[in-house]
Structure formats: C-alpha cells, structure tokens
Structure 1
C-alpha cells in the first residue's frame, strides 16, 4: 500500500464549532502564506542586489501554471514525510521554476522553520486585524448600550444572590473596559510580530556565506520589509512572539466570554431582562428562544485556556536550536487559538449589536428583594442612631415578612417622615457611583484612535443625573472630587 495519502478535502467548515471556523486561518490560507513567504525571500535577495530582478517575474509566471501543486490538500498529504509542509512546498516550487534563474534563489539559505514561522506570523497578523475590526463593533455597540442604561437600576448579584443595587450601565461598563483593555493588548502583540530568518541553527551562517555579514543583515531586514513585519534576531526557540499573541487572544476571549455569560444569565426565562436580536430555536421545544450567540462565545471562552496552555508548554519545552516536538505541538494549538478568537469576536459583535433590554423585567427583578436590597444602607444610616443590633432585628423581621417601612415608621429612634423613609428604602437612591462608573467605561473605550466615542447619541440625549441616578433638579449635589 502506498505511503502517500490522497489529498483531503477541507477538514473543517464549522459543523461542530460554528463560532470558530474562519477562512483567515484555514489550511488554504496558511498554504498561501507559505508561498508568499518564499516569494518574499526571493524579493529580498533582489532588493539587496544578489539575485537578478527577473526572478520574481519567473516565479510568478511559473507558479500561475502550477497552483494546484501547492494547494493545502496536496501539501498536507505529503507533509508527514518531513514533519512540516515546507519540505513538499519547496519541492513543488522548485519543480515549477525549474530551468529559470528563480530556481537558484528559491529558499536559498533558509530552513523550514524560517518559512513556516513567518507564514504563521503573517496569518496571525491577518487574524488579529480581522478580530480587531470585530472588536471595534463590540466596543461601539457596548458603549452605546452602557451610555443608554448608565442610570437604570438593576439587581446586582454576588455569589448568585441579590446584593446592593447597581445599574445596567455599570454592569456592562465593566465588560466594556475589559474588552477595550484586551483589545489594546492584542494590538501591542500584533505590532511586535517579527519575521523569522535564521538558517539551520539560527546563526544566519548560510546567508553570510551567500551575501556577507552585512548583506545577511540587510537580507533579514529586506525580508521582513517585504512582508510588513518587524526585523528581529532569530527566535526559533524563543517563542515570545507567539506567546504574546496567544496570551492576548486568551485575555480577549475571556473578556468576551464574561460579557456573554452576563447576557446568558439575563436571558434566562425567570430573569427575562435581556434577549438577543433573534434567538435560536429548539428542535424539541418550539417556544424557546435560546441565546445562541452568547452560548457560542461562552464556549469559545471554555476552549481557549487549553489551547493557550499548550502554546505556553511548547514554549517552555523549546530546547536547543530546534525543538523536537514542542514547535510541532505549538503550531496547531496556536492556529486553533486564532480561530477561536475570530469566532468569539465575530459572535460578540453580533451579540452586542442586537442586545435587547426589557426594562420592566429589570425593575421587577430588583423589586423581588425590594427595600431589603438596601439593608447595608440602613446599617450605615440608622446604625449610629439605633445601634447595629436593633437595625439587624428590624431587617430580620422584614425578612420574615413584615413591612420594613412600617417597622421604621414605628421605631422611636428613626427621625424621618414617610417620604424620608421611602427615599431611604428606594434601591434607585442607593446606586453609589454606578452611573459614573458607566460613563468612565465609555470614555476609556473612546480614548484610543478609532475607538467608540464617549458621546454616543444615547448618552447625549440622556438627561443629566447625579452619581446615584437622581434628578439634579430635585436634590442639590455638594462639590466633590470624582474618583470613579
């Protein structure tokens, strides 16, 4: 039986993982990046005056006739013999340019890892750009959402239970800030992406032999410039560039998954506060409107840590001048991490842009706990007058079913009229700096060029309010320093 495998069809179109199938990181995309990298090395030789200018035209002309020979299925079928796809790629390209000057300069002095690492970096750069565009949509939609609901009181939850009130804007403002921070980290990692050119042992000895010491340095710079990457010392076993991208991708997906998790909780039937623009159906229960986008983004968050841990372990195991297995383990995990990032970013953009709020349900859910939601406030305000123990007794009686407002009205030490007691027990009057926290999140998201603007239409149209959400016309606000 032949050891050659038949060319395989595209292996993954997202049947089981619709949130992570993306053409930017497909096998066909990496095959194109490999060819682009080999061409860039030819162009670099031309640029420094070693190779004749005509080699690029010869390469392009011959390759047009033989593109089928460097397709992803063909390369994958032959890659097992050498452990990577560069070896069959170079063989196919040499056959394509045989008899031309390009044949002499093709892959000259390079090692497989030079080409494959650089191609993967190119793929990463494109994936990061695509993810950034999706994240810009997430930020813009979330910024508008946060501005609109900056002062909308909502039940906060700590350890799954109702806590003191917050606002919808503050809740999702935290998510907006985390996503904006992660996006910035991702941009930093992308800006630092280097080309790889070191030769067999990372010393550039082959290139020095071909072009001299100065020429070898100029070649590495020209090679990186051809691809729009940063020129750097060889990093065959110093995997920091890959680690940076993987870590930034993981941080981004975690931030997106946390946002999606809040949406999924708010979309539960018993909550009913949130809904996606169009919910997914159920094969068995036609009444269901599942928060499918939130579910898929959450799934991405659960998949990413395992992939990134493989990338980190591979970096730790990258010994000698070429590792035996660590590099091979890193590449598929890193590519899959990019796929998960792209799926999560795209899904989160659709989720944020289509998010719907039922404000009546938000208010009704807050009313479940009612004035007990501000028991902390009662202890702070009434504790000095009544004693903490007495306040606790009153709260305990309210938990048992008695009317807290009536209990306070009957308490001799409470020096408030009916309106004062009502204001004291109103959750909407105990929001702290929640609206300002929301405002700050919107401002921070808009601080960097191209980011969501802090002055969204909803924010501009919203009436001015105090930090606790109250109408400024009803309650004067003393001067203060904003530490939000």
Structure 2
C-alpha cells in the first residue's frame, strides 16, 4: 500500500522553519534576527525610514512620515500570507506597500514608497537584517576571543605533541595552538566588523529621477535614519555589498570550523587531550551510551561546510544585467539569510564550547612522551622551540587590534 499522505498543517507554525535540520542555529539569537518576522520588520523599517528622510527634506508631508512610521510599528501582517501574495510580483515589497496604503487615508498613503522601487526596500531591508545580525555574531565572537586569549595565556607552556598530516611531528604547546585559533578568529571578526552595509536608493532605473532635484541629498539622510552606510551610487546591479558580506561570513565560519575540527581530533578516544563541556544529554549516542560525542564542535563544523556554499551563490549573483537583475538579486535572499543565521549560531555555539572546554595536560604529556622517545632516537630537537614567545606575540597583537 502507498504511504499515507501527511496531514495538512492546521497551525501556521507547522509551516515554519525552526531549525530542525540546522541545530547549530536553532534557538539562537541569530535565528531570531533572521526570521521571517525579522525580515518583515526590516522591510517596514526601510519604508518608514525612507518617508521620514523625505519629510526631513520637505519632499513629503510630515504627516505621511508619522503615518507610515506608526503603521510600521503597529501593523499586524502575517509573513506567510505576504509570502503567498509575493508570488504575483516576485518579491514581498509590492504586496507590503499595497497593504500599508490600504490602511492609511488616501491623501497620505500616496506618499508611501514615493519614488522608490521594490529593490530599494528589499536591499535596504537585507542590510538592516545583516546589521542587526552582525551585532549578534560579533557578540558571540567577542566571547570566543576572550575564551581563546585566556586559554592561550593559561597554557602558554603546556607541552603537547604537534601534529602534521595527522601524525605526531615535533613538540608544541597547547597555548600556541589556542593562539593560532585566536588570531584566526580576530582576523575574521575584524573583517566582518569593518564591512560597510549601505542603504539602497535608486528608484526605477537607478537615476533617482522620481525624487526630484534634491534626490542625491536623500542618500545621507536615509542612511542616517536607518543607521546604515551611505552608498556612492545605487547598487541595484553592483552587488559587492552582498558578496563581501557573504565572503566575510564564510571566513568567520572557517575560523570557527578550524577550532571545531581540531577539537574533534583532540577529543578522540585515542588522543583524549581535550573534551567538550559536559551537560545533560550532551554528546549522547542513540546506539552507544558509552560515547561522549563532540556535539558542539560537530555543529560548528557543519556550518563551516555550508556557509561557503551559500556564499558562492552570492558571488555568482554579481554579474547582474544592466539596471535591474532578473533572478540574480532574487537568488541572494535565502542564501544570505542562511549565511547570517548559521554564522551567528556557530559563534554562539563555539563560545559555549570554549568557555567550558576541558583540557587534560597529563594526557598531552603522555602522548608527547611517545614522540620524544622517537625524536631522541633520531637525535632531533625535543623542545617546543619559540612556542611561548609566539603566544606572547599573538596576545600582544590581539590587544593592539582590539584596543
């Protein structure tokens, strides 16, 4: 007999994506800042910010700015219904503007979205979501950096075997390994923090013609209203802000994934030099109750494998034609969201891992003694070289760039 058809969802939440297949971001702050409701909030904020900026320049009545700002704060709009209505126009801004206009008096509603195109609002909304999620990611990375700096300093001279190509090589220290993780995360953090996230405003074909003689003056005012950067030009088909953001997020997850990969290896039964923090149910196996799996590191590794693939789509979308893309811009939305929320989840998860990681210097010493015996037989150096000095160098660098 054929399998029964699944029941039709009766609760709107039955259609929502709560991260069942992406546990690294499930329940995290980054999941909340990139949800459908968060994107809808950003689109509403972009519309309200535009009307306020126009009112400041006398391009629309102040009452119109008050009206759209009020609607943006109080409008109860179902993202699911808006998504279905968006199929007619290919983006959610068209039905959103229609909904806002239907809720205001005609003499004011005609000033909503005045001069803008859907992509202006969608791109600006995306930058708002990115800016809000970036703060969450940077907070997580701050915790990671602090934990790594403490580990590097505390284990500055803790000896262990260095490993190359999976084999014991020469001695090093755990402090130097942690310092390497630290420098990678600081570089990734600073790359992400330094990105300019600009508003988008160009009108129908990027000429800002519908905004009148004071059009160019709108750019800095609009940026100020929303706390975003001012663009040099409308960037409807100049997609470097999105591509650079995707690249930076891939670098962040790469730095975190490097740590996660090392933790998985060092936590192996045969190595046993570190362990993830214990917790109820953490690391359990459904088939082998004796195991303590590196669950946090595994989740972070999964994000490091996914985000570069999503970022590749953002790179591929750059050669958009002429003044408006047909598909490239639309293809960015979901991959950008995945990059943001997976990176946020990875940062939060890695912070949890590092703040409670267990280090076993005695096991490191035992494993190192095996290596030292082999090195002595061959007359090779058996010390950790300049590992301690390199840890100091890394810590000095981090203090300098973070001050």
Q: Distance in 1 between matches of 2:111 and 2:395?
A: 53
Counting only pairs closer than 5 Å after superposition, residues 158-237 of structure 1 correspond to structure 2 as 158-189=164-195, 192-208=196-212, 212=213, 215-232=214-231, 233-237=233-237
Instruction: Look up the match of 1:356.
Output: 358
Work out which of the two has the higher radius of gyration on C-alpha atoms and give 1 or 2. 1
What is the CA-CA distance between 1:370 and the residue it aligns to?
A: 2.9
Displacement after TM superposition at 1:276 (Å) = 1.1
Distance 1:442 1:202, change over 3 A: same
- Displaced runs of 4 or more, over 4 A: 60-65
Structure 1 pair 243–200 and aligned structure 2 pair: CA distance change class (3 A)? same
- Which position in structure 1 is the counterpart of 2:79? 72
Q: Which residue of 1 aligns with 2:372?
A: 370
Decide which of 296, 299, 313 is 2:299's aligned counterpart: 296
Pick from 23, 31, 36 the counterpart of residue 45 of structure 2: 36
Shift of residue 79 of structure 1?
1.1
The residue aligned with 1:246 is 246
Q: Which residue of structure 1 aligns with residue 66 of structure 2?
A: 57
Are 2:185 and 2:256, in contact at CA under 8 Å, matched by a contact in 1?
yes
SS at match of 1:34: helix
Q: Is the 8 A contact 1:63 1:97 kept in 2?
A: no
Q: Are positions 1:319 and 2:318 aligned together?
A: no
SS at match of 2:90: coil
SS at match of 1:323: coil
- 1:108-147 pair list within 5 angstroms: 108-147=114-153
Supply the distance in 2 between the matched residues of 1:159 and 1:372 (Cα, whole angstroms).
17
Relative to structure 1, the CA distance from residue 62 to residue 432 in structure 2 (aligned partners, 3 Å threshold; closer, same or farther) is: closer
Partner residue in 1 for 2:4: none
User: Does structure 2 conserve the Cα–Cα contact (< 8 Å) formed by 1:7 and 1:74?
Assistant: no
Separation of aligned partners in 2, 1:185 and 1:64: 33
Offset at residue 296 of structure 1 (A): 0.4
Q: Distance in 2 between matches of 1:29 and 1:356?
A: 37
Cα deviation for residue 59 of structure 1 reads: 2.8
CA distance in 2 between counterparts of 1:374 and 1:127 reads 52
Residue 389 (structure 2) aligns with: 436
Q: Which moved more, 1:106-115 or 1:354-363?
A: 354-363
Query: 279, 284, 289: which is aligned to 1:286?
Result: 289
Q: For residues 78 and 47 of structure 2, what CA distance do their matches in structure 1 show? A: 15
TM-score, scaled to structure 2: 0.92
Contact (CA 8 Å) 2:151, 2:175: kept in 1 or not?
A: yes
Choose 125-134 or 366-375, whichever is displaced more: 366-375
Separation (CA, whole Å) in 2 of partners of 1:374 and 1:72: 68
The aligned counterpart of 1:455 is: none
Give the deviation of 1:98 after TM superposition. Answer: 3.1
Distance in 1 separating the partners of 2:258 and 2:57: 50
Q: Cα deviations across residues 198-234 of structure 1 (Å, max 9, x unaligned)?
A: 00111111112xxx1xx11112221111001122110
Tell me how far apart the structure 2 counterparts of residues 157 and 194 of structure 1 sit (CA, whole Å).
44
Q: 1:88 aligns with which of 79, 90, 95?
A: 95
Distance in 2 of aligned mates of 1:123 and 1:374 = 57
The alignment's C-alpha RMSD in Å is 1.9
Does the residue aligned with 1:126 lie in a helix, a strand or coil? Answer: helix
The offset of 1:63, in angstroms, is 5.5
Question: Which secondary structure state, in structure 1, belongs to the residue aligned with residue 362 of structure 2?
Answer: helix
Distance 1:374 1:442 in 2: 32
Output the CA distance in 2 between the equivalents of 1:276 and 1:174.
19
Q: 2:401 aligns with which of 422, 442, 448?
A: 448
Structure 2: stretches of 5+ with no match in the other structure: 1-9
The answer to whether the 8 Å contact 2:64/2:112 transfers is no
Gaps of at least 5 residues in structure 1 are: 1-5, 380-423, 451-484
| Partners of 2:86 and 2:92 within 8 A in 1 | yes
Q: Against the structure 1 CA distance between its residues 111 and 359, is the aligned structure 2 distance closer, same or farther, given a 3 Å change threshold? A: same
Structure-1-length-normalised TM-score: 0.77
Distance in 2, matches of 1:297 and 1:64, equals: 36
Q: CA 1:373–1:347 in 2, change beyond 3 Å: closer, same or farther?
A: farther
Aligned CA distance change for structure 1 residues 62 and 332 (closer, same or farther; 3 Å): closer
- Rounded to whole Å, the distance in 2 between the matches of 1:271 and 1:287 is 17
Match of 1:12 in 2: 17
Distance in 2 between residues matched to 1:20 and 1:235, nearest whole Å: 30
What residue in structure 1 maps to residue 7 of structure 2?
none
Distance, in Å, in 2 between the alignment partners of 1:61 and 1:229 is 21
Partner Cα separation in structure 2 for residue 98 and residue 359 of structure 1: 71
Q: Which has the higher contact order (CA 8 A, sep 6+)?
A: 2
1:441-483 residue CA offsets vs partner (Å, 9 max, x unmatched): 2222222346xxxxxxxxxxxxxxxxxxxxxxxxxxxxxxxxx
